[in-house]
Amino acid sequence: MSMEAFRELSRNQQKKVMRQEMWDRRAAEFKDKQRQRRREGRRRHKQRVARGETPARRKPSEQTHSGVHVVLDMAFDDKMCDKEIKSVCSQVRRCYAVNRQAAQQVDLHVTRLHGQCQQRLAATTDYSRWSAQHVVFHDGEYLDLFDKQSLVYLTADSPNVVDRLEPGKMYIIGGIVDKNRYPRLTLDKAEQQGIAHAQLPIGQYVRMATRRVVTVNQIFEMLIGFIQTGDWKSAFLDVIPQRKLKDVPDGCAEPGSGEESASSAGNSDSDSGSGSGSDSDDGAS
Ligand SMILES: C[S@@+](CC[C@H](N)C(=O)[O-])C[C@H]1O[C@@H](n2cnc3c(N)ncnc32)[C@H](O)[C@@H]1O
């Protein structure tokens, strides 16, 4: 808009125009940052491939079963707003894609997919055609489907820490994006149901600038990473975005020394993308 035209507007209209311009500028900056982040992820991945630390991203010619089971517990539909539903669905899609590409896949189960999540996933993907080798959808609850003794709810609030993944165990991930609105949600659920719970040993290997609550797909990718390499540290570093690490490039504490940073009140789960180049379209957990 020309300066002259702007001057002819009423004060209120001028304010509106200025607000709109500011909004457009911020949106462009945000998009720019997203683009840079993705570029950075791809660059880091290429470097790791070149160093032989991680295999190139392509479908393995032969895939084996790790024997580990992972359950995405989608029972939290009523706790999320539209945007969060969109994010969590995108994270479910990402988990499926990662499982298809892994040299050693897990047995992936999705339980209680219903309501808005089910509608959103169906609207964006024909998930009924997803390969049953890489994901199985169950209408029911995991408690009714699997042996209770084999269940381990993964939750950042648990005092227990997983040190290895046991074949035959069912590791449950809470299918929710809540921006820390519901602390202890999954821990309370596991305790009420009387099932085992544990957090991943992130703090023992990586010093994060934010809380160690990460997104559904990030936790899934960490599990997959550990299964491929047996190395928690690389599994974490491959997934956690660099800006969330406290000390970069070294970024790692000695095992056992990982305490949380003073900025732990931040939304560490505000990012659905992973350092390995997530295709999630959301930016939230
Ligand atoms: C965004 S978090 C949800 C946080 C939610 N307030 C809760 O109580 O679980 C999504 C899921 O990822 C898993 N998760 C996130 N960070 C984790 C960690 N550090 N260790 C184990 N699981 C984690 C949990 O299963 C969690 O339910």
pLDDT higher than 70, residue 192: yes
In percent, how much of the chain has pLDDT > 70? Answer: 83
- Asked if 208 and 268 touch (Cβ cutoff 8 Å), the reply is yes
Do the domain assignments include residue 280? Answer: no
pTM, rounded to two decimals: 0.73
How far is 201 from 232, CA to CA, in rounded Å? 8
The number of distinct structural domains making up the chain is 1
Query: Which residues line the pocket of ligand 1, CB cutoff 6 A?
Result: 154-156, 173-174, 176-178, 182-186, 199-200, 202, 212-216, 219, 269, 285
Do the domain assignments include residue 121? Answer: yes
Do the domain assignments include residue 50? Answer: no
Cα dihedral 184, 189, 192, 196, rounded to 10, equals -90
Pocket probe for ligand 1: among 177, 213, 267, the residue whose CB has the most ligand atoms within 8 Å is: 213
Q: Domain span at residue 208?
A: 66-244
Do the domain assignments include residue 253? Answer: no
CATH of the domain at 166: 3.40.1280.30
- Asked if 174 and 155 touch (Cβ cutoff 8 Å), the reply is yes
Q: What's the mean per-residue pLDDT of the chain? A: 85
pLDDT, tens digit, 9 for 90 and up, residues 113-161: 999 999 999 999 999 999 999 999 999 999 999 999 999 999 999 999 9
Pocket probe for ligand 1: among 186, 188, 207, 269, the residue whose CB has the most ligand atoms within 8 Å is: 186
- 16, 17, 19, 97, 200 from 23: Cα distances, Å: 10, 10, 6, 34, 39
pLDDT, tens digit, 9 for 90 and up, residues 223-251: 999 999 999 999 999 999 888 887 644 43
Do the domain assignments include residue 236? Answer: yes
Q: How many CA atoms lie within 13 A of 182 on its CB side?
A: 16
How far is 222 from 237, CA to CA, in rounded Å? 9
Do the domain assignments include residue 268? Answer: no
Do the domain assignments include residue 73? Answer: yes
Dist. CA 216 → ligand 1 center (Å):
7
Q: What are φ and ψ of residue 196, in 5° steps?
A: -65, 155
Do the domain assignments include residue 129? Answer: yes
Which of the following is catalytic: 73, 77, 107, 178? 178
Q: Which two tokens stand for residue 173?
A: 């991930």
In percent, how much of the chain has pLDDT > 90? Answer: 66
Over range 31-51, report the average pLDDT: 82
- Ligand 1 atom, smallest distance to 200 CA: 20
pLDDT higher than 50, residue 276: no
Can 147 be counted among the known catalytic residues? Answer: no
Dist. CA 73 → ligand 1 center (Å):
11
User: What is the C-alpha R_g of the chain?
Assistant: 21
